[in-house]
Amino acid sequence: MKVLFVSGELAPFAKVGGLADVAAALPPALFELGADIRIIIPRYGIIDSEKYPMEKILSGVEVEFKGKKNKINLFQAVLPDGSVTVYLIENERYLSKGGVYLSEDASSCGNEAEFERFGFFTVSVLEILKNLEWQPQIIHCNDWHTGLLPLLAPKNFRTITTIHNLAYQGRYREEIVLSALDKDKKIFHPKDGHIIALREAILNSGLINTVSLAYAKEILTEEFGCGLEKDLETRKKDLSGILNGLDVNLFNPETDTDIFRNFSVNNISAREENKARLQKILGFTEDKDIPIFGFVGRLTEQKGFDILIPALEEMLGENMQIVILGFGDKNYEEKLTAFARKNFAVKISLNFKFDAELAQKIYSGSDFFLVPSRFEPCGLIQMIAMRYGAVPIARRTGGLRDTVINYIEPDGNGIVFEKYDIKDLLEALKKAMEIYQEKEKLLILRKNGMAADFSWRKSAMKYFELYQKLIFPR
């Protein structure tokens, strides 16, 4: 079973959000199951080649794009755990300057420069395959970045696309795509004068899957389908949902070197030191009786800031500490900054940056984690939080529905609210304050979260089965 996993992000080389974590953890899990799987990504400017040694294996491969011949180089590295080969495509003009995305919040902005990056990446992958001795049977595509690959790939390759977020689609004016690719217009399925990369993936991939069972159902509805629900409906029999896992070796409170003190479910009291020291570095009052609410992630509408900020406004009299780590939509950054200036009992620490080490300190020191998403294909932060003993406060949607169990259930591991509105979230926040006073109850929620199996084991098997289905269709 030979598989090329094509991704726009890959941890730790170039991480923005959950896609990077999945790209770094799913292939090794499949490798363990016996797949010869390799990953290919652009060699972005931000990738630190001193930290991640790489070797040039192909140079000067020609790629036609925008009517010109461009040269690319191929580098080879390996994932830090030594398991899976990583190919990196270098091209100064289109791929190798700066970070991953051109938009602040990792959404697809749909402009020409973005198409130049990911459209060029797509055609470069195909050129590389013509020059590489190793040949995959399957090309595993991910999200809009690689949306045109299933359409453009020669038919001897089987294709599968995983949708990590349907809201980001790579929607480009027809002329942009046609002038760059020199392809017959008829092969595309334009809509309102635009070619939509993710739509092409949905219509052309051998199989399609998304990252939780609940989201796989939700995206067939108008509410969550982001305008592609009808296209997905036509592929319903080839569409499935597979819950993401976590790299449980990397996200492990027993061995994590980024946290202040290691701990486990059998030694939860050692966790307290992480909280105390987190309070210290954030400039909060060091007090174990004040609960910390954490958030790590992109500041986007998806993550629920339109209800979170007003709900927090209602909590101003409460003795609570909030820490936010993330960046994105400037509007939310401003609103949060305005909130932080209010001199009330609530204290808030704002960290508008990417900081993988601080993220781990927040997971291990927070009491609760804020996940009030408007929609959530899978969501990793609630799983990482639980693994580190922080109790998620989550809206019942997508992957949150499949992973967070409400505190009233026997094996509850979080606080779940139904509706995407301020009132429901506010009630959940108040419930958290209440539960914080009931130490026994809180401990049970923490332990249930820490004991849950968030490994890739089961889900990797399901991907393996999809690969088999692609190679041996019934």
CA angle (397, 399, 402) in 5-degree steps: 90
- CB closer to ligand ADP out of 384 and 432: 384
Closest CA to 145 of 302, 6, 25: 6
Among 325, 400, 428, 432, binds ligand ADP (CB under 6 A): 325
Shortest reach from residue 280's CB to ligand ADP, in Å: 20
Among 17, 119, 365, 372, binds ligand ADP (CB under 6 A): 17
- CB closer to ligand ADP out of 369 and 417: 369
Closest CA to 40 of 76, 1, 94: 76
- CB closer to ligand ADP out of 74 and 197: 197
What are the residues whose beta carbons fall under 8 Å from the beta carbon of 94, sequence distance 6 or more?
Answer: 65, 70, 116, 117, 120, 121
Shortest reach from residue 56's CB to ligand ADP, in Å: 30
Query: Residue 10 interacts with ligand ADP (CB under 6 A)?
Result: no
**Interface mask toward ligand ADP for 20-49; x: CB under 6 A:** -x----------------------------
Q: Cα separation of 26 and 35, whole Å?
A: 11
- CB closer to ligand ADP out of 137 and 252: 252
Query: Residue 359 interacts with ligand ADP (CB under 6 A)?
Result: yes
Stretch that binds ligand ADP, among 51-59, 126-134, 222-230, 292-300 (CB under 6 A): 292-300
CA distances from 152 to 103, 191, 266 (A): 26, 19, 52
Q: Cα separation of 351 and 329, whole Å?
A: 14
Q: Cα separation of 147 and 311, whole Å?
A: 38
Shortest reach from residue 443's CB to ligand ADP, in Å: 24
Chain centroid offset of residue 128 CA:
26
Query: Residue 381 interacts with ligand ADP (CB under 6 A)?
Result: yes
Stretch that binds ligand ADP, among 191-199, 222-230, 350-358, 427-435 (CB under 6 A): 350-358
Q: What is the largest CA-CA distance in the chain?
A: 67
Tell the residue number behind the tokens 């051109």, with chain if given: 102
By the criterion CB under 6 A, which residues form the site for ligand ADP?
17-19, 21, 296-298, 325-327, 354-356, 359, 378-381, 384
